[in-house]
Chains A and B, each alone.
Chain A
Amino acid sequence: MQRHFDEDLAKLKTDILSMAALVDASILDAVEALKDLDASRARQVIASDRRIDEMELMIEEHSLSLLAQQQPMANDLRFITMAMNITTDLERMADLAVDIAQRVLEMSDKPLLKPLIDIPQLATVAQTMIKDVIEAFVNRDEALARKVILFDSQADQLRNAVQRELINDYMIKDPQTVSRAVPLLLIARHLERICDHATNIAEDVIYMVGAEVVKHHPERLQGKAEE
């Protein structure tokens, strides 16, 4: 039976995709602004956050209305509640892009402390995770969502590498570098947090598709990945 409710659900999905596209662009811009220490691009990132916040509110309101009107069950219930979770994660990712942009503004009047090697790699990992997790959401692809979660350890490793290098090779050896090293340290942290949010979304996609809770249960993920 055709349901009008399906049109509402399709609209919700489209809205989440539009929001995800904005968030993705925002992170890309923040990373590009960093590579070129481009202050005007960093300011664009900060300005575009408002639109993302508005989308978050709009999607949340639509989801709440659907819960109230339809009292959804099963698949529909899981889709709407996970849509709300995913929206929250997307919004936080955009906030982290803003944080990166702010660090870029802090650094833009001085030359970079060192050529960036691991940070761009970390940015690539983050962007791959976002792209994959959104694809997993759209196609209800549980396997791809699992891959995204397992990918997160690369982000952690790169963040640690950046941290080690900045602290051991620069900050300890020459405390004069601290003011230029700290923003880079924070940027690595922001990027790694973006990956954590992508992981959250992947966990939500897995629950949405197959009702399996993998959040806080890494062993369930491992088990499936080995099969």
Chain B
Amino acid sequence: MDNLVMKMRAHGVDFFYGKNHALKNINLNVAVNKVTAIIGPSGCGKSTFIRLLNRMNEMVPNTTLTGKIYLDCLDILSPCIDPADVRRRVGMVFQKPNPFPKNIFENISYGLEVNGIKNKQLIEERVVTSLKRSAIWEEVKDRLHDSALRLSGGQQQRLCIARCLAIQPEVLLFDEPCASLDPISTRKIEELILELKKDYTIVIVTHNMQQAARISDYTGFFLLGDMIEFDKTDKIFKAPSDSRTEDYITGRFG
């Protein structure tokens, strides 16, 4: 990958839900300050894969994971690493916006307080910066104490991104962040992702191939737990190497 610095590396990763072999020998590198998209049909293991990148998979009982995942040089699967530390450095935004049933300000400050930040001024600064960085500040600055649940879906999703940014992560994982949003809100999130990649490393799972084509630098195509192809996004969408990738992205699949 053109001498890029790798922020995360998955090496020989296998994952099982009980006996179901959900991911098979995945080797995937995530380049720093790039957007890496994971595409593939439902059940291909793409969401499972990004959940491994911040150890979210450990929330699911009866699973087995083998292989290595590195964040910089850190072996994040090592038993002496606290998953909470990994999740602070690798944040996640989900398919459905999931703001806390609190006001807008508290949605962001809560995570900071949980992480032991007590300084009110620092918290306020972080809240404002995060809201600005996630391109929602202008829409909420006059109603920071309104319930977050009164925001539109697209605004809620950007608030969730702000909540993630407040913890100052290095990697952002997006699991189909626009699946429940209208086209305008989707465009806003896409613009935001392109803006955020200047400072963060981003991995996005998406069902929307045009979205992957628009915003990602690298794309991996997953099918039935295998990574079939990984390449520059431009290459994948103009001239994929594997006929299964071709069939999927041209809608001939199945």
Task: List chain A positions with a Cβ less than 8 A from chain B.
Answer: 1, 3, 5, 71-78, 210-211
- Interchain CB contact under 8 A, B253 and A73: no
Closest to A70 in B: B251
Q: Say yes or no for B237: interface residue by CB 8 A criterion.
A: yes
Contact A5 B246 (CB under 8 A): no
Q: Across the two chains, which residue of chain A brings its CB closest to B249? A: A73
* Chain B residues with CB below 8 A from A210, complex form: 239
Interface residues of B (CB under 8 A from A): 209-210, 213, 237-240, 245-246, 249-254
B210/A77 in contact, CB under 8 A: no
Q: Which partner residue on chain A sits nearest B251 by CB separation?
A: A3
25 contacts between A and B (CB under 8 A): A1-B251, A1-B252, A1-B253, A1-B254, A3-B252, A5-B251, A71-B210, A73-B237, A73-B238, A73-B249, A73-B250, A74-B237, A74-B239, A74-B240, A74-B245, A74-B246, A74-B249, A74-B250, A75-B250, A76-B250, A77-B237, A78-B238, A78-B239, A210-B239, A211-B238
B211 to chain A, nearest CB (A): 11
Cα–Cα distance between A75 and B240 once the two chains are bound (Å): 9
- In the complex, the answer to whether B238 meets A74 with C-beta atoms within 8 Å is yes
Shortest Cβ distance from residue A67 to the other chain B in the assembled complex, whole angstroms:
12
Complexed CA–CA distance, A1 and B252 (Å): 5
**Which residues of A have CB within 8 Å of B254?**
1
Complex CA–CA separation, A1 to B253 (angstroms): 6
Query: A75 — which chain B residues lie within 8 A by C-beta?
Result: 246, 250
Residues of A within 8 A of B250 (CB): 72-76
Q: Which residues of A contact B246 (CB under 8 A)?
A: 74-75
| Residues on B with beta carbons closer than 8 Å to the beta carbon of A76 | 250
Q: Are B238 and A77 in contact (CB under 8 A)?
A: yes
Query: Which residue from A3, A73, A78 sits with its C-beta under 8 Å from B209?
Result: A73
Q: How far apart are B3's CB and chain A's nearest CB, in angstroms?
A: 23
Q: How far is the CB of A59 from chain B (nearest CB, A)?
A: 21
A34–B209 alpha-carbon span in the complex (Å): 54
Write the chain B residue with the least CB distance to A72. Answer: B250
